[in-house]
Amino acid sequence: MSTSTFPAGRKKITTSTVRDKKIRGEIITMLTAYDYPTAAIMDRAGIDMILVGDSVGMVVLGYDTTLSVTMEDMLHHCKAVARGAKSALLIGDMPFMSYQTSVDDAVRNAGRFLQEAGMDAIKLEGGRDRKPAIEAIISAGIPVQGHLGLTPQSVHQFGGFRAQGKTVSAAKRILEDAMILQEAGCFSIVLEAIPWQLAKLISAQLEIPTIGIGAGVECDGQVLVSHDMLGLCDRFTPKFAKKFTHLQNEIETAVTNYKSDVENKIFPASSNSFKMTDEEWNSLLAAIAPKVTAHSVTRL
Ligand code: KIV
């Protein structure tokens, strides 16, 4: 594949690139994106992996959970991201009920992310119960990223969005699941909202990279939901999400300024307007003169 369309000096990131980064002890960066301009910005900034997360349901579509997100929603947003990002490894998040129903459904839906939406890999939530689906998807040639800990599609089973793996038995189960996902062939695993000590232990045990979100600094990489890190969410922002800017305030200021400029006829200025030549304008006036009413002549 030609590298000419990639941002200057960057090659296409693959699953091997991120595995090699772990081997070299280099930290892997990942963010979520749901649209073309944001994906293009992240690509230019050199983010390794872009996840089109089903978090789109909460931060873009306004649902309370991710459960309402459909395959069609996901493919729509994945296509936009794929148009914007040429270098980052692109991962499509499988929505609720697109892989839990049967292994056949899982493979067919995973395939749509690559075939129709330009993704390089898929992510799905869950541990040992998902092993058959993961193995079947991988044997169809589709790289899979696992997701353990606080898996938001199980929010009702957890009784809310709360940290997982805080007791010995819960931590042991997550560690075992991580080993099972590695054995099944996952190229990496997202660890969400688990104690940092457990994330450190899993990261040391696994050969594949761990990507933490609310899992401490000892993971092989980090991911955040872009709307959280950009300060774009007007609703709850999780404790583990750092706001690197406050775009919501900036957008509110811009919209307020726009409203005021429009109401005061400051916008559009002449520099934002198109002009007819005087000659064309005078000819037009002459042509319509008999039809121009007294009221409109005053306004002209
Ligand atoms: O949907 C999403 O954005 C995710 C991240 C939280 C990892 O799954």
Which residues are the active-site residues? 192
**Residue 281, token pair as written in the block:** 């304008």
pLDDT at 194 (0 to 100): 98
Question: Are 167 and 269 members of one domain?
Answer: no
Q: What is the average pLDDT value for the chain, to the nearest integer?
A: 94
**Judgement on whether residues 96 and 195 belong to the same structural domain of the protein:** yes
55 and 115 together in one domain: yes
Per-residue pLDDT of 223-270, as tens digits, reads 999 999 999 987 778 899 999 999 999 999 999 999 999 999 999 999
Given a cut of 60, whether residue 109 has pLDDT beyond it is yes
Q: Is the pLDDT of residue 3 over 80?
A: no
Q: Cβ neighbours of residue 162 under 8 Å, at least 6 residues apart?
A: 150, 193
Average pLDDT over residues 63-83: 97
Confidence category of residue 7, pLDDT binned at 50, 70, 90: low
Closest C-alpha to ligand 1, atom 8: 53
What number is the average pLDDT over the span 54-62?
97
| The pLDDT of residue 64 | 93
Q: Find all residues with CB under 8 Å of 149, minimum gap 6, and list them.
A: 163, 164, 165, 174, 190, 191, 192, 193, 194, 214, 215
Same domain, residue pair 180 and 260? no
pTM over cut 0.85? yes
144 pLDDT more than 70: yes
In a domain, residue 7? The reply is: no
CA-CA distance, 18 to 207, in Å (whole number)? 11
**Residue appearing with tokens 């775009």:** 247
Amino acid at 136: A
Residues 200, 284 within the same domain: no
281 C-alpha vs ligand 1 centroid, how far in Å? 57
Which residue in this structure is represented by tokens 């395959």?
71
Tens of pLDDT, residues 169-182: 999 999 999 999 99
d(CA 76, CA 6): 23
The reply to whether 66 falls in a domain is yes
Question: What's the CATH number where 126 sits?
Answer: 3.20.20.60
* 27 within a domain of the structure (yes/no): yes
Claim to verify: residue 43 and residue 157 sit in the same structural domain: yes
Same domain, 146 and 23: yes
Nearest CA to ligand 1 atom 4: 53
The verdict on 129 and 191 lying in the same domain is: yes
Which residue's C-alpha comes closest to atom 1 of ligand 1?
Answer: 53
Domain count, the chain: 2
Cα(15)–Cα(141) distance, rounded to whole angstroms? 12
114 and 222 within one domain: yes
Angstrom distance (rounded) from CA 34 to CA 30: 13
Ligand 1 centroid to residue 10 C-alpha, Å = 25
Domain range spanning residue 116? 15-247
CA of 63 to the centre of ligand 1 (A): 15
CA–CA distance from 144 to each of 39, 53, 149, 287 (Å)?
21, 14, 17, 69
| Range with lowest mean pLDDT among 83-87, 250-254, 270-274, 286-290 | 286-290
